[in-house]
Structure 1
Amino acid sequence: MGRRVELDWRGSLMPPVATRPGDSPMPWHYWFTRGETLTSFLLLVLPTVLSTTLTDRPSGYRPATLAVAAAAAVWLVLRAVLLGTPAREHPVFTAVHFAGVLPLAAVLQSRDPYFVLFMVYAYFAAMRMRPMPLAITGVALTSALINTMSNGGPIRALADQPWIWLTLMLLQTVAIGGGGAVFAAVGRQNEERRRTLERLAAAEAENRGLQQQLLVQAREAGMLDERQRMSQEIHDTLAQGFTGIITQLEAADQARDDPATRQRHLRAAAALARENLSSARRSVEALHPEPLDAATLPEALAGVVDRWSAQTGVPATFSATGTVASLHPELEATLLRITQEALSNVAKHARAGRVGLTLSYMGDEVTLDVRDDGAGFDPAAPPADEGGFGLPGMRRRAGRLAGTLTVESEPGGGTAVSVNLPAVPAATLESTHHEGAPG
Structure 2
Amino acid sequence: MSLEVDWTRPMWPPESARTPSDWQPWLYRAERILPGVLLAVATVVSLGVGGHDGRWWVITGILVAATALWVLGTVVLAPPRLRERPAFALLAFLGIVGLGSVLEVRDITFLIFMIFAFLAAMRLRPTWLAFAALAVTSLLINTLGNGGPVHALRERPAVWITIIVVQTAAIGGGGLLSTAVARQNEERRRMLDDLAAAHAENEGLQRQLLSQAREAGMLDERQRLAQEIHDTLAQGFTGIITQLEAAALAKDEPAEWERHLDSATALARENLTAARRSVRALHPEPLDAATLPDALADVATRWSGRTGVPAAFTATGEPRPLHPEIESTILRVTQEALSNVDKHAAARRVGLTLSYMDDEVTLDVRDDGAGFTPGPGPGFGLPGMRRRVERLAGTLHVESEPGGGTAISAVLPAVPSPPEASA
TM-score, normalising length: structure 2: 0.92
Which whole-Å deviations, capped at 9, do the CAs of 1:373-399 have from their partners, x for residues lacking one? Answer: 1222222x24432xxx32222222222
| Mapped partners of 2:329, 2:242: distance in 1 | 39
| Matched residue, 1:167 | 162
Matching of residues 332-411 of structure 1 within 5 Å: 332-379=327-374, 381-385=375-379, 389-411=380-402
Contact 2:377 2:383 in 1 (8 A): no
| Mapped partners of 1:313, 1:295: distance in 2 | 24
- With 310-319 and 116-125 compared, the bigger mean Cα shift is at 310-319
Counterpart AA for 1:254: L
SS at match of 2:198: helix
SS at match of 1:60: helix
| Matched residue, 2:408 | 417
| Mapped partners of 1:96, 1:396: distance in 2 | 72
| Mapped partners of 2:392, 2:87: distance in 1 | 56
| Mapped partners of 1:227, 1:40: distance in 2 | 79
SS at match of 1:82: coil
Contact 1:18 1:29 in 2 (8 A): no
| Matched residue, 1:5 | none
Contact 1:212 1:431 in 2 (8 A): no
SS at match of 2:363: strand
| Matched residue, 2:76 | 80
| Matched residue, 1:198 | 193
- In structure 2, runs of 5+ residues without a counterpart are 1-5
Which whole-Å deviations, capped at 9, do the CAs of 1:261-309 have from their partners, x for residues lacking one? Answer: 2222211111111111111111111111111111111111112112222
- In structure 1, runs of 5+ residues without a counterpart are 1-7, 434-439
Identity of aligned residues (%): 60
- Match 2:14 to one of 6, 13, 16: 16
| Mapped partners of 1:397, 1:48: distance in 2 | 83
Q: Does 1:247 align with 2:225?
A: no
- Match 2:420 to one of 430, 435, 439: 430
Counterpart AA for 1:225: D
| Mapped partners of 2:265, 2:98: distance in 1 | 112
Change (3 A) 1:400 1:131: farther
Counterpart AA for 2:77: V
- Match 2:271 to one of 272, 276, 282: 276
Q: Does 1:130 align with 2:120?
A: no
Change (3 A) 1:343 1:198: same
Counterpart AA for 1:268: S
Q: Does 1:47 align with 2:56?
A: no
| Mapped partners of 2:315, 2:162: distance in 1 | 74
Which whole-Å deviations, capped at 9, do the CAs of 1:161-202 have from their partners, x for residues lacking one? Answer: 322222221121112112222222222222222222222222
Please state how far the C-alpha of 1:9 moved relative to its aligned partner: 9.4
Please state how far the C-alpha of 1:367 moved relative to its aligned partner: 1.1
Contact 2:7 2:127 in 1 (8 A): no
Change (3 A) 1:250 1:348: same
Counterpart AA for 2:384: G
Contact 1:9 1:188 in 2 (8 A): no
Change (3 A) 1:112 1:324: same
SS at match of 1:358: strand
| Mapped partners of 1:432, 1:315: distance in 2 | 33
| Mapped partners of 2:421, 2:30: distance in 1 | 44
Runs of 4+ residues deviating >3 angstroms: none
| Mapped partners of 1:207, 1:133: distance in 2 | 46
Q: Does 1:317 align with 2:312?
A: yes
Measured on the aligned residues, the alpha-carbon RMSD in Å equals 2.2
Change (3 A) 1:336 1:323: same
| Mapped partners of 1:414, 1:368: distance in 2 | 17
SS at match of 1:13: coil
Which whole-Å deviations, capped at 9, do the CAs of 1:66-121 have from their partners, x for residues lacking one? Answer: 222222222222222234x3222233332222122211211111111111111111
Change (3 A) 1:73 1:18: farther
Q: Does 1:111 align with 2:106?
A: yes
Contact 2:10 2:125 in 1 (8 A): yes
Counterpart AA for 1:430: E
- With 320-329 and 110-119 compared, the bigger mean Cα shift is at 320-329
Contact 1:52 1:62 in 2 (8 A): no
- With 96-105 and 116-125 compared, the bigger mean Cα shift is at 96-105
SS at match of 2:210: helix
TM-score, normalising length: structure 1: 0.89
Change (3 A) 1:92 1:396: farther
Change (3 A) 1:407 1:75: farther
Please state how far the C-alpha of 1:145 moved relative to its aligned partner: 0.9
- Match 2:326 to one of 331, 336, 342: 331
Which whole-Å deviations, capped at 9, do the CAs of 1:137-161 have from their partners, x for residues lacking one? Answer: 1111111111112223222322333
